[in-house]
Every structure is written in C-alpha cells, then in structure tokens.
Copies of this chain bind each other. A is one copy, B any other.
Amino acid sequence: MNLLASPLLTDLYQLTMLNAYYAHGMRETAVFELFVRKLPPNRNFMMAAGLEQAVDFLEHLRFTSEEVEWVEKSGLFPLEFARHLEGLTFTGDVHAMPEGTLFFPNEPILRVTAPMPEAQLVESRLINLVHFESLVATKAARTVLAAPGKLLVDFGLRRAHGAEAGLLAARASYIAGFAGTATVLAGQRMGIPIFGTMAHSFVQAHDDEVVAFERFAETYPRGAVLLIDTYDTERAAEKVVALASKLKKRGIPVKGVRLDSGDLATLAKNVRRILDEGGLHDATIFASGNLDECRVRDLLAAGAPIDGFGIGTSLVTSSDEPFLDAVYKLQEYAGKPRRKRSAGKATWPGRKQVFRQYDAAGRFDHDILTVESDVQAGEPLLIPVMKNGRRLHTAASLDALRRRAAGQLAKLPERLKPLETAEIPYRVAVKPALRKLADEVDRMTGEIPALCK
C-alpha cells in the first residue's frame, strides 16, 4: 500500500464536515478553486507545478478496508459514516493550468467541480502537492533566469523536508529548467537526469588527497569531476594539474573540478588560471555550497568563470520564502456562487477563468480574471484535465513540461525577470462581471464585507 496515496492524508475537519454533509444530504455539486492570495516578497511571478501528482491522487482516491475500519473504530463518527467512505471515489471534473505556466495572485491554477464530499475531502492533499511543487518551480525558475546557459543541478535531498519533498523538488526544478538532480530515486522513478561526483568523505578517507583523486579518476575513466576544497582549494587545483598529465598518458581525462566552500568568485578565477596554465582548458568548474539564485547571479556578475552550479537547501526549501499563501476555496455550491469575506482573506466568487493577453512582441502583457462565462480575447489558461473522475489526457512528458516552462519564461516581460520585486507588477485585471457577482453574493448572504475586498 502506498502511504502517499491514502485519503486519510487529510485534515480531520474534512472528515467531520463530510460526516455533517452526509448527515444533512448535502451532496450537491461544489466548485473549489486553488489559488495563491499574494506574491511572496521578491517574487514577480509564480510557476505552476504538481498537477500530475494531483490528478494521480484524485484518480486513485479510495479508502482501503483497513482505513474504513479505522474510521469506524475511531469513535469520532456515527457508524453509518464509514459506510459512505467505503465506496467513495473521485467522480468530478478538474480544470487547471498546465504545469510550467506562470501565474499571478488570485488566479485559480486548479478548479475542482464535484459532489461536495469528494471536493471537500481532497483539499489538504491537493494544496500539499500543488503548493509545494509550485513553490520550488518558482524558486528554480528564478535561478534559471539568474544563470542563463549554466548547468544547474538540484543538490537538495538531504535538507528537503522529507523524502517526498526531495523527489517532488527534483521534478519541479527539472520542469523549471534545471538540468537534473543528484537524487537517484528521481532518476529511477521519473527519468530525470542525475548528476553526482564525490564528497569530502572520499577525500578524507585517504591519507593523501592526490591518491583520492587518482583512484576516483581511475574508477571513472571517461572523465570525473574532482572535489578540491577539502583542505586547500588552490593547492588541490595544482595537484589536479600534476595528476592530469599522468592520467593523460593512460587516456583518462579530468572532466572538471568542484568548489564547495570559501570565496567562490576569487577561487574560481584562480582555479581557472591554474587549470588553464596547466593545459586543462576543457576542465569545467562546478560550484556548490550554500548557493541560491542571488549568490549565483552575483558570482556571474563578478565574472566568476563557473560553468555549473549545484543548488541544494535554498532550492528545495525555498528558504527565503518557504511557503506560498495558497488556498482552496469554495466558489459555488448547488449552483449558487459563494465567497468568504473573513478579514483580509476575502475571495472572488464563482467559476473563474484567466485570459492572458499578449503584446505585439508575443510577450505577456496582462491577464484578465473574470467569471468563466464572460469569455474574453486572449489565451484561456485553465483547461479541462479530468472529466467524471478520469483524466482526459495521458500524463504530459517532463520534456513537454520543460518546453512549456521555457516558453513561458521567454515570454515574461523583461521588467519581471530580476530577482527583486519589480516597480510595476504584472497586471491582473478583474472584469466588471466578476465584481458584479461578488456584490450579488454579498447581498444574498445579507452581510456587509468587514474589510478589504
């Protein structure tokens, strides 16, 4: 049994509400939309990811007999509740932005239309998947923009928040444009290219650094990347040059070196000089060690001759902003639009669509957010992905998603590409039809909005 597919991967209040819905016959169609309320600091866009895992979760949603029995025996619910869970599957529709799509605040990236109990139950896991992958895809996309043409590799598994986070981060960063990951299981399970060389422990396990280098190079006669910062980086670079001429006679090239600590800009320049003077013009320099997109940008701006970067903790935890304000909100029930008006957390009601407008150069100009029926010119971003509980398309290949993401980044206005908040944010225009609907809902529920709309 797959732990990660359990319908009990939910909050208890979903079950308490389900029980109340069943008790009161509330099984009408509900429409929920998943969106991010605001951009985190220093973000000019977000990138959608995680849809494939979300669809897979919905497609396989089913309580095992063991889980039903647990609910029965929990003492939290009347006995008949477990009977409802026994046959529960997801029979609804899903509309969503394809993975790799850039999106902005208040734009739904996924919409679920299903009988209330089904649509409610899946909230926690849908946010859990789409929130995290979108968080990392966004962070990775920033890195891609900061280091055009450089080899970027996810090194984050060890400090990812659990194993699933490590795997999903490898996937999300690959979609966003990373070359691959160090996480082997992501290679085996998802076909993501994997990268890896040696750690300090390999060097330390030898009495002599040169012996460690030589043994490693012999083991990988097509060319290895040697880690040179265990003791003294520049001295180690000189050792590599000396070793390279010895290895050359045996037909073994030195593919490159990795720097993992110290003043990387200065070290990279000095190491490059040492390698070049030693004739190792083709040997590349790969850098790692507490890097993020800002450090990478600064290193490149300082002229550091670095060919590739391993980015770990900051990527997989999105360390400067480890979460998005992602929510999944009821927009319609039993044919009536709904909205929440809690202070500072009001939402736009109804089934919505985002129509993206392009400028003459083919770049994003602005988006229009309105009710689905209020069709506008431009590209509708939400497309049907599930119908009656079944997926409409086979899963897109990671290659196709990478092309989508790269295409999106190419169409992003220049002012939104820097790593800091742009002076003029991307414009999301809310159409009168949507404002009118919000007013109608407010009148209908007989309440005056307490605070901001």
Interface check A178, CB cutoff 8 A? no
- Closest Cβ neighbor of A194 among chain B residues: B12
> A200 contacts which chain B residues (CB < 8 A)?
329-330, 340, 342
Interface check A109, CB cutoff 8 A? no
- Closest Cβ neighbor of A180 among chain B residues: B12
> A397 contacts which chain B residues (CB < 8 A)?
none
> A9 contacts which chain B residues (CB < 8 A)?
157, 163, 166, 183-185
A 212-228 to B, binary, CB cutoff 8 A, 1 in contact else 0: 00011011100000000
Tell me if B30 and A205 are in contact (CB < 8 A). yes
- Considering residues A12, A167, A201, A215, which has the most beta carbons from chain B within 10 angstroms of its beta carbon? A201
Which residues, 123 to 172 on A, are CB-close (under 8 Å) to B? Answer: 123-125, 127-129, 131-132, 135, 155, 157-169
Interface check A273, CB cutoff 8 A? no
Tell me if B330 and A201 are in contact (CB < 8 A). yes
Interface check A358, CB cutoff 8 A? no
> A231 contacts which chain B residues (CB < 8 A)?
341-342, 445, 447, 450
Interface check A90, CB cutoff 8 A? no
Interface check A96, CB cutoff 8 A? no
How many angstroms between the C-alpha atoms of A124 and B183 in the bound complex? Answer: 9
Interface check A8, CB cutoff 8 A? yes
> A318 contacts which chain B residues (CB < 8 A)?
322
Q: For the side of the interface on A, what is the size category?
A: 35 or more
> A280 contacts which chain B residues (CB < 8 A)?
none
Tell me if A128 and B323 are in contact (CB < 8 A). no
Interface check A197, CB cutoff 8 A? yes
- Closest Cβ neighbor of A262 among chain B residues: B343
Which residues, 73 to 119 on A, are CB-close (under 8 Å) to B? Answer: 74, 116
Say how far A189's CB is from chain B's closest CB, in angstroms: 8
Interface check A24, CB cutoff 8 A? yes
Tell me if B13 and A182 are in contact (CB < 8 A). yes
- Closest Cβ neighbor of A263 among chain B residues: B343
How many angstroms between the C-alpha atoms of A23 and B445 in the bound complex? Answer: 73
Which residues, 16 to 31 on A, are CB-close (under 8 Å) to B? Answer: 16-17, 19-21, 23-24, 26, 30
Interface check A230, CB cutoff 8 A? yes
Tell me if B230 and A326 are in contact (CB < 8 A). no
A 180-200 to B, binary, CB cutoff 8 A, 1 in contact else 0: 001111011100001111111
Interface check A317, CB cutoff 8 A? yes
Given A10-B184, A70-B188, A204-B338, are A4 and B163 also a contact pair (CB < 8 Å)?
Answer: yes
Given A161-B161, A341-B230, are A205 and B26 also a contact pair (CB < 8 Å)?
Answer: yes
Residues of A within 8 A of B (CB): 2-4, 6, 8-17, 19-21, 23-24, 26, 30, 32, 67, 70, 74, 116, 120, 123-125, 127-129, 131-132, 135, 155, 157-169, 182-185, 187-189, 194-202, 204-205, 207-209, 215-216, 218-220, 229-233, 260-263, 313, 316-319, 322-324, 326, 328-330, 333-334, 336, 338-345, 444-445, 447-448, 450-451
Q: A3-B3, A14-B184 are in contact. List 18 more A-B contacts (CB 8 A).
A: A8-B188, A9-B157, A9-B185, A11-B158, A12-B183, A13-B199, A17-B202, A32-B201, A67-B188, A120-B199, A131-B158, A161-B169, A162-B164, A230-B342, A231-B341, A232-B448, A233-B343, A313-B323
- 28 A–B contact pairs at CB < 8 A? A3-B4, A3-B185, A6-B185, A9-B166, A9-B184, A10-B185, A13-B182, A14-B199, A17-B198, A20-B202, A21-B205, A23-B219, A24-B219, A70-B188, A128-B162, A131-B158, A160-B161, A161-B165, A162-B165, A162-B167, A204-B339, A207-B336, A229-B343, A231-B445, A233-B343, A233-B450, A261-B345, A263-B343
